[in-house]
Chain A
């Protein structure tokens, strides 16, 4: 029997999943003991190699720019501790970062020059964004590359800035948590965010809403998707459950129950698909086996306002609290780049070691989630809420892919059955 076959219980049947063969099947108990010939043949086909940490020269997919950690909002769940004022990246440093990425992209034979902006709120440092955007487009034109600009933003700025974003960015991830009452409770400035969303919806940019799901809006996911789709026609909606922080706890905001989240996500996903909007739960993407679902371990370089290059856009203090060092090097305003090979290797190897994931059927799709908040060294080996909801959503996705959508519906309507699946310590078939 192939060694990397997983199975999870779905009522009286079993969902068999072999991620390296890209095979999924729903079988009865007898067939689990002895696979039917057709399934056996599929599982006997040469599997893909297990995903391994990257090797060789550093090869970032994009340059991440953090123009500032400052932010013009004070979202109740934000743990960034951002204030309206804060260090802004030197304009020369932003240009140097873009130049390095352009050199790399041209040398590597890439067709695009990819620069993504994170914060804080990137537009709290508008001059840095202006310079970086135009420098990217200028050097891309010089080198025959296609500029590809993305930004994660709160959307709270005047209309001319929103028009600039819509005209110059290829993709915009706009934080938008739902209806007025929810959005204002979580983040504030609903009217301005909605106004920006309308401007972006009318622009050529690919508009993605990032929706923070908490206990107070989990019941409204499908309804919110209907409204978002009708009002703003986004390209995609990304559902992220609340990451608890001392700030969110003080505000009385709690993460959703993972079982309820899985059930409501399923309804919301259907509503989105019916309206031509792509629903995203990033941890349940099963297309290609992977060791990481985020920039960490993918050689991504995040350039911070102080010139530090890191693998992650979260705050340095947050990694350090987990005993992690995700710094990769440093870039100077003169373009001098320090990128020690041992630091690249350290971060590459980090993503390979996730003891909690070893026996989970999602180990190469979820890939352990966030390395700082979820799968950090020394984290609990027990499945937590993130694991539970991800295991349920992934199983439902596989069932839907097999044409058993109604079985997925039955599953998320039965909490005991969900628990049987979600809390199973090992999914490996034939494991002792």
Chain B
């Protein structure tokens, strides 16, 4: 998977139970709970999908194959939603 970054119009705030994404252009807010909130943090700090999947095994108690699929599916969904570019 190629590297992804947050789309330019996306801002985010860390909250106790997750992360809130805010589209600066539209004002729309999207709440991410766990484990997606962890993926958002790790991807925006530049971790590769492999590294994120390895950490997600311990964060969410997933098997490696399931963690990898979860990361890829989540990233793809965010890309389609315009949260990520890359």
**A contacts, CB < 8 Å to B:** 91-92, 94-95, 127, 130-131, 134-135, 137-138, 140-142, 146-147, 160-161, 164, 167-168
Of all chain B residues, the one with the shortest Cβ separation from A168 is: B14
Q: Indicate with 1 or 0, residue by residue over B1-30, a CB within 8 angstroms of chain A CB atoms.
A: 000000000000010111000000000000
Chain B neighbourhood of A135, CB < 8 A: 58-59
Which of the candidate stretches B38-46, B69-77, B78-86 sits at the interface with the other chain? B38-46
Q: Can you list 9 A-B contacts with CB-CB less than 8 angstroms, sorted by A residue number?
A: A91-B55, A130-B38, A134-B34, A134-B37, A134-B41, A137-B16, A138-B37, A140-B16, A140-B17
In contact, A95 and B59 (Cβ under 8 angstroms)? yes
In contact, B59 and A131 (Cβ under 8 angstroms)? yes
Residue among B37, B41, B55 making CB contact with A127, cutoff 8 Å = B55
The 3 A-B pairs of least Cβ separation, nearest first, read A138-B34, A134-B38, A91-B58
Give the interface centre of B41, B57, B59, B61 by most chain A CB atoms within 10 Å: B59
How close is A27's CB to chain B, nearest CB, in angstroms? 50
In contact, A138 and B60 (Cβ under 8 angstroms)? yes
Chain A neighbourhood of B60, CB < 8 A: 138
In contact, B16 and A147 (Cβ under 8 angstroms)? yes
How many A-B contacts if CB must be within 8 Å? Answer: 58
Of all chain B residues, the one with the shortest Cβ separation from A139 is: B34
A131 to B54 Cα, complex, angstroms:
10
In contact, B16 and A131 (Cβ under 8 angstroms)? no
Answer whether A92 and B45 are a contact pair too, CB < 8 Å, given A134-B38, A141-B34, A167-B14.
no
Residue among A91, A137, A167 making CB contact with B57, cutoff 8 Å = A91
A127 to B54 Cα, complex, angstroms:
10
In contact, A130 and B33 (Cβ under 8 angstroms)? no
Chain A neighbourhood of B42, CB < 8 A: 130
Chain A neighbourhood of B17, CB < 8 A: 137, 140-141
A146 to B75 Cα, complex, angstroms:
27
Majority DSSP secondary structure for residues of A touching B: helix
Answer whether A141 and B55 are a contact pair too, CB < 8 Å, given A134-B41, A167-B14.
no
Answer whether A95 and B16 are a contact pair too, CB < 8 Å, given A138-B34, A160-B46, A164-B45.
no
A160 to B37 Cα, complex, angstroms:
17
In contact, A137 and B34 (Cβ under 8 angstroms)? yes
In contact, B16 and A141 (Cβ under 8 angstroms)? yes
A131 to B37 Cα, complex, angstroms:
12
Chain A neighbourhood of B37, CB < 8 A: 134, 137-138
In contact, A160 and B45 (Cβ under 8 angstroms)? yes
A127 to B53 Cα, complex, angstroms:
12
A140 to B57 Cα, complex, angstroms:
18
Chain B neighbourhood of A94, CB < 8 A: 58
Give the interface centre of A92, A94, A134, A140 by most chain B CB atoms within 10 Å: A134
In contact, A138 and B45 (Cβ under 8 angstroms)? no
A137 to B39 Cα, complex, angstroms:
13
14 further A-B contacts with Cβ under 8 Å, apart from A95-B58, A147-B16, are A91-B55, A92-B58, A130-B55, A134-B38, A134-B41, A134-B55, A135-B59, A137-B34, A137-B38, A138-B35, A138-B37, A138-B59, A141-B34, A146-B16
A314 to B59 Cα, complex, angstroms:
27
A135 to B58 Cα, complex, angstroms:
8
Of all chain A residues, the one with the shortest Cβ separation from B45 is: A160
Chain B neighbourhood of A134, CB < 8 A: 34-35, 37-38, 41, 55, 59
A239 to B59 Cα, complex, angstroms:
36
How close is A161's CB to chain B, nearest CB, in angstroms? 8
Chain A neighbourhood of B34, CB < 8 A: 134, 137-138, 141-142
Chain B neighbourhood of A142, CB < 8 A: 34
A142 to B35 Cα, complex, angstroms:
11
In contact, A141 and B58 (Cβ under 8 angstroms)? no
Residue among B35, B41, B55, B59 making CB contact with A164, cutoff 8 Å = B41
How close is B80's CB to chain A, nearest CB, in angstroms? 24
Chain A neighbourhood of B16, CB < 8 A: 137, 140-141, 146-147
Give the interface centre of A135, A146, A147 by most chain B CB atoms within 10 Å: A135
